[in-house]
């Protein structure tokens, strides 16, 4: 009997087509070097700035460069959306009833360790602190996963890599990586791109013309400057792409900005009005 999926259950990526990604620096070269050395990687950056797309792109890139044996992997990338109820058992696996039998079922982390996939723990600080301890033996020279319930000490496949991410903008004393975990990872910092690069991303991902893409990128930059309103991060690149998609679908630019930017980022009427004022200035 297979239990229903819960938030945080893993998603395997077949990667049938290359996920498009525009490099902002040397992150591709660093990730490739880390993968070659089988070093675990930590991605830090605000919501919607491209961390997940970057991991998908790198999984595709490394998968395509790999030998024929690795290309037989059904899911070269296994993503887990972490949440406050995520337990070590959810990651490693559990015994489940199957007919009259009790059978062991690997969790997403164990599947990645066995198969040689990249395991991506998205927003890892949302998970319970005792959950992250399970990855420690995978992030040093041992590259082992102890499975206490079966007594197995699982050696990681040579191609296995662990990648985690979190958003420092939302971290607190209660939600931060412990030094004993953080110092096991190579760290890559992400941020929102420059206006010029963000316009390229918006245009490519949404299908709007270059002029509309440039205006949306400028709106994004101005909205992120609303720090005095208590706006911690502003609007994500993801939301700007959504706005472009609405415009490409026939929605007026002002209405698209209203529903995909102003109303999406906050419920505060004053901040919504501040965003609307920015839109009024930058849109014809």
Domain that residue 225 falls in = 195-282
34 lies in the same domain as 150 = yes
Give the mean pLDDT of 235-240: 95
- Determine contact, residues 18/60, Cβ cutoff 8 Å: yes
Within-domain flag for 20? yes
95 lies in the same domain as 137 = yes
* CATH code at position 20: 3.40.50.300
Q: String of b and e for 100-117 (b: at least 16 CB within 10 Å)?
A: eeeeeebbbbbbbbebbb
Instruction: Tell me the three state secondary structure of residue 274.
Output: helix
Name the domain boundary from 169, 189, 209. Answer: 189
210 lies in the same domain as 183 = no
Name the domain boundary from 150, 166, 189. Answer: 189
25 lies in the same domain as 98 = yes
181 lies in the same domain as 125 = yes
For residues 102 and 173, what is the distance between their CA atoms, to the nearest angstrom? 41
143 lies in the same domain as 222 = no
155 lies in the same domain as 28 = yes
- Determine contact, residues 125/177, Cβ cutoff 8 Å: yes
The residue with tokens 């490099």 is 23
Within-domain flag for 2? no
130 lies in the same domain as 70 = yes
Helical residues (DSSP H) of 37-136, grouped into ranges: 51-65, 88-92, 108-115, 129-132
**β-pair partners for 164:** 42, 121
177 lies in the same domain as 101 = yes
Mean pLDDT, the chain, rounded, equals 88
Closest Cα partner for 124 from 114, 135, 112, 110? 135
Within-domain flag for 76? yes
> Would you place residue 255 in the very low, low, confident or very high pLDDT band (cuts 50, 70, 90)?
very high
83 lies in the same domain as 134 = yes
Structure tokens at 274: 């501040």
Give the mean pLDDT of 30-51: 95
Within-domain flag for 5? no
67 lies in the same domain as 204 = no
Least confident span in 123-132, 155-164, 194-203, 248-257: 123-132
Report pLDDT for 56: 95
Closest Cα partner for 208 from 183, 259, 174, 243? 243
- Determine contact, residues 54/26, Cβ cutoff 8 Å: no
Q: Is 153 a residue whose pLDDT tops 80?
A: yes
Name the domain boundary from 143, 159, 189. Answer: 189
Q: What is the pTM of this model?
A: 0.87
- Higher pLDDT residue, 258 or 266? 258
Report pLDDT for 192: 93
Question: What's the total number of domains in the chain?
Answer: 2
171 lies in the same domain as 277 = no
Within-domain flag for 1? no
Give the mean pLDDT of 234-244: 95
Q: Is 71 a residue whose pLDDT tops 60?
A: no
Structure tokens at 275: 């965003």
Report pLDDT for 5: 42
């Amino acid at each position: 009997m297979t239990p229903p999926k819960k938030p945080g259950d893993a998603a395997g990526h077949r990667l049938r087509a290359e996920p498009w990604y525009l490099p902002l620096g040397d992150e591709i070269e660093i990730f490739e070097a880390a993968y070659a050395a089988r070093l675990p990687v930590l991605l830090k950056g605000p919501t919607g700035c491209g961390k997940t797309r970057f991991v998908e792109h790198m999984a595709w890139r490394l998968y395509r460069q790999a030998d024929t044996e690795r290309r037989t992997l059904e899911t070269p990338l296994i993503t887990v959306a972490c949440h406050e109820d995520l337990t070590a058992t959810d990651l490693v696996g559990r015994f489940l009833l199957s007919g009259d039998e009790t059978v062991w079922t690997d969790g997403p982390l164990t599947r990645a360790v066995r198969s040689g996939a990249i395991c991506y723990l998205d927003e890892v600080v949302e998970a319970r602190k005792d959950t992250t301890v399970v990855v420690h033996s995978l992030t040093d020279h041992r590259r082992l996963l102890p499975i206490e319930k079966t007594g197995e000490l699982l050696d990681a496949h040579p191609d296995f890599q662990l990648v985690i991410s979190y958003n420092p903008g939302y971290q607190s004393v209660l939600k931060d990586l412990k030094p004993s975990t953080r110092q096991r990872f190579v760290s890559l910092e992400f941020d929102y791109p420059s206006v010029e690069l963000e316009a390229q991303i918006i245009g490519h991902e949404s299908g709007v013309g270059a002029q509309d893409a440039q205006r949306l990128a400028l709106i994004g930059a101005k909205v992120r400057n609303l720090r005095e309103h208590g706006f911690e991060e502003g609007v994500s690149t993801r939301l700007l792409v959504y706005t472009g998609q609405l415009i490409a679908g026939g929605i007026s630019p002002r209405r698209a900005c209203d529903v995909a930017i102003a109303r999406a980022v906050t419920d505060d009427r004053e901040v919504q009005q501040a965003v609307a004022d920015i839109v009024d200035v930058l849109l014809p």
